[in-house]
């Protein structure tokens, strides 16, 4: 497989969550459905209904589409829009976490279970109690605990939950107010519920002050991902309107996290969403753009490229269309 080339072309894929299970790379993307509707700030154009699991024997191998792993028709609480998922393994079981709107058009996060990393997955009858918004990403920590990070502004409805309960039309957050961060919560032992009430992650600037809502180059918008490198926690995310993937670091999974820099410069298309995974001592960034559709925002394709660290632990910024940076 060539870096920075679409992993598959026969379907549109986005929002890749990549993991290594049994020395093989598995990618859990969302599945864009082609249509002729218009785009809007609420994400109405993203009408995804199911999940396909992609896999690669190694980064040089061809990518395989393992077929449909879960469809909304098999999830009783889902009304529409099954967006970006994630998957983790615990004690031989695979847990697929996914956001979707319920029948009242409110986003929650569900879980489906399988004995295989490629599914099929069987969903629980209801969403995770206390869950909200979109973009679940789960960190399996070294001590055996699992933490979920989630949330997205605008169409992701995160600002509707800032008071702790759902508000359909919340007050606008002022530019000089602290930006919202993603929510997080430790998962219970059964992996199907939260052990604690979700709290909001705090992201700080270099002076120790919260990043402000008007700081669109650095503030959180959506698409959280958490990984560890040399014992440090790296929270990475999309800035949304400015189209960067950036990162912040912290000493614990609870934060706070201090902004450190950019990982990925803007790609073709409005959204940007990623994951980071290690394979045989090298690190890789999985992401999407709109190359094969020529820039249609809801017809995206997943790619990957090598991610490199500097000696001080900072991440080298990736320019996605630079030939000089390709491995």
User: What residues are paired with 243 via a beta bridge?
Assistant: none
Instruction: Indicate whether 83 pLDDT > 60.
Output: yes
Instruction: Indicate whether 174 pLDDT > 90.
Output: yes
Measured distance CA(292)–CA(32) in Å, rounded: 12
Instruction: Indicate whether 170 pLDDT > 80.
Output: yes
Tell me what pLDDT residue 275 has.
99
The rounded mean pLDDT for the chain is 97
Tell me what pLDDT residue 267 has.
98
Q: pLDDT category, 38, cuts 50, 70, 90? A: confident
Look at phi and psi of residue 233 and say left if phi exceeds 0, alpha if psi is from -120 to 50, else beta.
beta
Q: pLDDT category, 37, cuts 50, 70, 90? A: confident
Instruction: Indicate whether 144 pLDDT > 70.
Output: yes
Measured distance CA(2)–CA(174) in Å, rounded: 44
Q: pLDDT category, 189, cuts 50, 70, 90? A: very high
Tell me what pLDDT residue 326 has.
67
Residue range 12-38: average pLDDT?
A: 97
Measured distance CA(95)–CA(86) in Å, rounded: 8
Instruction: Indicate whether 77 pLDDT > 70.
Output: yes
Residue range 159-173: average pLDDT?
A: 94
List, by residue number, the catalytic residues.
15, 222
Per-residue pLDDT reduced to its tens digit, 89-126: 999 999 999 999 999 999 999 999 999 999 999 999 99
Measured distance CA(229)–CA(75) in Å, rounded: 36
| Residue 278 CB coordination number (10 Å) | 13
Q: pLDDT category, 221, cuts 50, 70, 90? A: very high
Which of the 8 DSSP states describes residue 291? G
Per-residue pLDDT reduced to its tens digit, 39-56: 888 999 999 999 999 999
Q: pLDDT category, 323, cuts 50, 70, 90? A: confident
**Any idea where the domains of the chain sit in the sequence?**
12-325
Tell me what pLDDT residue 1 has.
87
Strand ranges in 77-187 using DSSP code E only, listed in sequence order: 86-90, 93-101, 107-114, 122-123, 137-140, 146-150, 183-186
Which of the 8 DSSP states describes residue 154? G
Instruction: Indicate whether 327 pLDDT > 70.
Output: no
Tell me what pLDDT residue 324 has.
75
Domain 12-325 fold: Tachylectin-2; Chain A (2.115.10)
Residue range 59-75: average pLDDT?
A: 98
Tell me what pLDDT residue 223 has.
98
Tell me what pLDDT residue 71 has.
98
Tell me what pLDDT residue 84 has.
98
Cis peptide, bond prior to residue 256, ω within 30 of zero: yes
């Amino acid at each position: 497989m060539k870096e920075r080339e679409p992993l598959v072309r026969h379907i549109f894929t986005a929002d890749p969550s990549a993991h290594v299970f049994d020395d093989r790379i598995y990618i859990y993307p969302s599945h864009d459905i082609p249509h002729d509707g218009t785009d809007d700030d609420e994400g109405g154009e993203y009408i995804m209904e199911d999940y396909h699991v992609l896999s690669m024997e190694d980064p040089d191998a061809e990518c395989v589409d393992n077929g449909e792993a879960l469809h909304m028709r098999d999830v009783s609480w889902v009304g529409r829009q099954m967006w970006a998922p994630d998957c983790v393994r615990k004690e031989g079981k695979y847990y697929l976490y996914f956001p979707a709107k319920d029948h009242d058009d409110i986003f929650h996060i569900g879980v489906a279970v399988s004995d295989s990393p490629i599914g099929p997955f069987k969903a629980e009858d209801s969403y995770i109690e206390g869950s909200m918004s979109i973009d679940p990403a789960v960190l399996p920590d070294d001590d055996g605990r699992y933490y979920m990070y989630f949330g997205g502004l605008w169409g992701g409805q995160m600002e509707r939950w800032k008071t702790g309960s759902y508000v359909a039309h919340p007050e606008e957050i002022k530019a000089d107010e602290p930006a919202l961060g993603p929510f997080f919560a430790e998962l219970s032992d059964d992996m199907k519920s939260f052990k604690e009430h979700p709290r909001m992650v705090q992201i700080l600037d270099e002076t120790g002050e919260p990043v402000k809502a008007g700081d669109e180059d650095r503030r959180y918008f959506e698409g959280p991902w958490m990984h560890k490198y040399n014992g440090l926690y790296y929270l990475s995310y999309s800035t949304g309107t400015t189209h960067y993937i950036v990162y912040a670091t912290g000493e614990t999974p609870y934060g706070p996290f201090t902004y450190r820099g950019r990982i990925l410069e803007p790609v073709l298309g409005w959204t940007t969403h990623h994951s980071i995974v290690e394979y045989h001592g090298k690190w890789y960034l999985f992401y999407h753009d709109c190359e094969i559709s020529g820039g249609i925002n809801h017809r995206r394709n997943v790619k990957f490229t090598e991610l490199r660290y500097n000696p001080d632990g900072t991440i080298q910024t990736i320019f996605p269309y630079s030939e000089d940076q390709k491995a």
